[in-house]
Structure 1
Amino acid sequence: MSLDRTVQKPIDALAAYLVGDMDAVNTLIRTRMASEHAPRIPEVTAHLVEAGGKRLRPMLTLAAARMLGYQGEHHVRLAATVEFIHTATLLHDDVVDESAQRRGRPTANLLWDNKSSVLVGDYLFSRSFQLMVETGSLRVLDILSNASATIAEGEVLQLSAAQDLRTDEGIYMKVIRGKTAALFSAATEVGGVIAGAPEEQVKALFTYGDALGIAFQIVDDLLDYGGTSSVIGKNTGDDFRERKLTMPVIKAVAQASAEERDFWRRVIEKGDQRDGDLEHAMSLMARHGTMEATREEALRWAAEAKTALDALPAHDLRDMLRDLADYVVARVK
């Protein structure tokens, strides 16, 4: 599995189309992550914000608003809000997961400490709420505040579901809908709301973001067992070492023989991992075809995302969003 250079085009095309708006978003982010009294805040934030991420989530907000004819400035505030929420969750996640690498660089908690990462994450959440309020839209505040709560809920659910072989695909879907898809759907939905779009179009944007986020996370989980660190921004096999029950593993456990289930119980539930266990886990997933089955799930959600766009007006940005859904799943071959 690899990231083909040719499939970078949809996200690059989107970035090129929105370059003026994204410049404004980046300027606003730098302004609002400043702190007069705590210089560590911009230091920690800049380490992650400037790490070269694609800024996909804020671009979804900008694209949704522009596609529906919005001409104001609040979409820039909302895009920055979305990026702040995303960055805050990454800072917290790396502490919870005890991660050492993010986007190919050492994590903030590794370079500074856990306390700094958690507190700076809290600061960014606070900044995001300030930006939301500035739009003057209670509905926008409702959508993004609910998304923030849902993200936290998904992370807590993942903690309780982790290392438990009884975790099934239904629970897995609740986890990824919370920790990933909630911000995707909120990002697209608020773009439609701020543009004053008809309710049918706002709902379509929500559905697109939700399905795109689910496809994105399924692919991300799949890449953990077959990608390279340069593609996924973390070390291959991190989910296995952290004993996370993601879709490829859940499918393998569901089809496991008694002997295979004993293996999964040892490495996931008991955390007794030995040399060669990652390779054996991957061989079991290959034996039961769970990697390909997981890829099919991602393709299905990407198709649902594209279908949702049919309710939106014809626009170059709509075509780019459709291509983006293909791009997300094209990261795996």
Structure 2
Amino acid sequence: MGLDEVAQKPHDRLSAWLAADMEAVNQMIRDRMASEHAPRIPQVTAHLVEAGGKRLRPLLTLAAARLCGYDGPYHIHLAATVEFIHTATLLHDDVVDESAQRRGRPTANLLWDNKSSVLVGDYLFARSFQLMTETGSMRVMNILANASATIAEGEVLQLTAAQDLATTEAIYLQVVRGKTAALFSAATEVGGVIAGSDEAQVQALYTYGDALGIAFQIVDDLLDYGGTTAVIGKNTGDDFRERKLTLPVIKAVAQADADERAFWQRTIAKGDQRDGDLEQALAIMARHGAMEAARADALGWAAKAKVALAVLPDHPIRAMLADLADYVVARIN
């Protein structure tokens, strides 16, 4: 989601540091997405998995495990599990959102059909649970199962909250924790658990992932109103056209006068959008400092992520994770 635009990329440094582990993860993904009886499963999965992407979530699992001194085999299983859960949610999201493009390519639901996307997503969820059981850790399974439930809950909440002007920042945060932060925090937390880290370090890894995920999503929501298509992978203003109540809009609605509220009611709640409405939305948000306030929130979450790292071992990976938190929000500087 636009993580390629800054010259020094912490996720690239992480990828280089963890290259052997990541290759093992990629091989496990290829092996486990196979299906003897339903060839459409690897076809659909490969279309998305092989499309690129940063593999950020599995990288976080590998980084957390290695940072905590793990030298066993199961961080590979957990990183593949995290990527399967992520891929399954993307397949389902594209059906729900009726999307036509993902990572610059036609979506699976467009190339095949909605039924295939939903059912292959279900298959990947099942595969992810098979993988996590192989670790033999009930705590790991509990963390990832809870994250999967939170993701689904967040998506359902977004259905009801997305175009409701009564949606508050607290509800937005709940949606963001579901759609983005839950898998970030689970990815980092299970890395510490599988490494046998103490409770303070496991909690720190959870806090880091949670705060990083929230900052990541707020930045994406901001970029939709001020980024370029090349940076965000979609057209500027798509969230407005899709009537999504993201943080800058929620902040502007909270301060709206009668005329502004009528504008939001027409464009977001009722979906009656006309030429010039996006520009008017941007003007209203600028009038109330909504973009700057949302940016300050993102910077605050990134700072919280960095603070959480303090109790973790002094290691090059820790510095890369701190740089990653800065990097996520550098996209809006």
Compute the TM-score of the two structures, normalised by the length of structure 2: 0.97
- CA shift at 1:322, angstroms? 0.3
Q: Name stretches of at least 5 consecutive residues in structure 2 with no aligned partner.
A: none
SS in 2 for 1:60: helix
Q: 1:67, 1:315 within 8 Å by CA — same for their partners in 2?
A: yes
Root mean square deviation of aligned Cα: 1.2
What is the letter of the counterpart of residue 27 of structure 1?
A: Q
Q: Is the 8 A contact 2:5 2:231 kept in 1?
A: no
Contact 1:252 1:284 in 2 (8 A): yes
Partners of 1:144 and 1:41 lie apart in 2 by 23
Q: Distance in 1 between matches of 2:7 and 2:182?
A: 25
Cα distance between partner residues in 2 of 1:38 and 1:4? 36
Give the AA of the match of 2:195.
Answer: A
Distance in 1 (alpha carbons) for counterparts of 2:4 and 2:203: 32
The equivalent residue for 1:42 is 42
The equivalent of 1:271 in structure 2 is 271
**Residues 1:112 and 2:112 aligned together:** yes
Partner of 1:321: 321
1:41-190 superposed matches below 5 A: 41-190=41-190
CA deviation after TM superposition for structure 1 residue 230, in Å:
2.1
CA shift digits 1:19-66 (9 cap, x unpaired): 110000001101111111211111111111111100000000000000
The Cα of 1:6 is off from its aligned counterpart by 3.5
Aligned equivalent of 1:192? 192
Secondary structure of the residue aligned to 1:72 is: coil
- Name the SS of the counterpart of 2:166 in structure 1: coil
How much does 1:229 deviate? 2.3
Contact 2:22 2:59 in 1 (8 A): yes
Cα distance in structure 2, aligned partners of 1:8 and 1:87:
27
Report deviation, 1:231. Answer: 1.7
> Structure 1 unaligned runs (5+)?
none
Q: Tell me the amino acid that sits aligned with residue 101 of structure 1.
A: Q
The answer on whether the counterparts of 2:3 and 2:328 sit within 8 Å (CA) in structure 1 is no
Percent of aligned positions that are identical: 79
Q: Which shifted more, 202-211 or 91-100? A: 91-100
Count of aligned residue pairs for this structure pair: 332
Q: CA offsets, 1:56-99, max 9 Å, x none?
A: 00000000000111011100000000000001001111111111
TM superposition score normalised by structure 1: 0.97
The Cα offsets for residues 255-296 of structure 1, whole Å up to 9 and x where unpaired, read as: 111111111000111111112212221121122211111111
* Aligned AA (1:72): G
Post-superposition CA distance 1:121-169 (Å, at most 9, x none): 1010000000000000000000000000000001111111121100010
C-alpha displacement of 1:12: 0.8
Quick one: which amino acid aligns to residue 328 of structure 2?
V
Q: Which residue of 2 aligns with 1:18?
A: 18
CA distance in 2, matches of 1:163, 1:9: 35
Which has the larger displacement, 122-131 or 91-100? 91-100
1:4/1:144 Cα in 2 relative to 1: closer, same or farther (>3 Å)?
closer
CA distance in 2, matches of 1:276, 1:324: 37
Structure 1 position 7, deviation (Å): 4.7
CA distance in 2, matches of 1:124, 1:240: 31
- CA–CA distance in 1 between the matches of 2:3 and 2:313? 31
**Is the Cα–Cα contact under 8 Å of residues 3 and 330 in structure 1 kept in the other structure?**
no
Give the corresponding residue for 1:233. Answer: 233
**Whole-Å Cα distance in 2 between the matches of residues 161 and 7 of structure 1?**
37
Report whether the alignment pairs 1:244 with 2:272: no
Q: Determine the C-alpha separation between the residues in 2 that align with 1:4 and 1:276.
A: 31
Equivalent position amino acid for 2:24 in 1 = A
Contact 1:7–1:330 (CA under 8 A) maintained in structure 2: no
Q: Structure 1 residue 236: deviation in Å?
A: 2.1
Q: Which whole-Å CA distance do the structure 1 matches of 2:66 and 2:11 have between them?
A: 16
Deviations 1:217-266 (A, max 9, x none): 11111111112222222222221121111001001111111111111000
SS at match of 1:224: helix
Q: Residues 165-217 of structure 1: CA distance to partner in whole angstroms, max 9, x if unpaired? A: 00010110111011111100000000000000011100100000000000001
Supply the AA of the counterpart residue of 2:289: G
Corresponding residue for 1:262?
Answer: 262
Q: Is the 8 A contact 2:63 2:317 kept in 1?
A: yes
| Alpha carbons of structure 1 residues 146 and 4: separation in structure 2 relative to 1, 3 Å | closer
CA 1:221–1:8: 2 relative to 1, 3 Å: farther
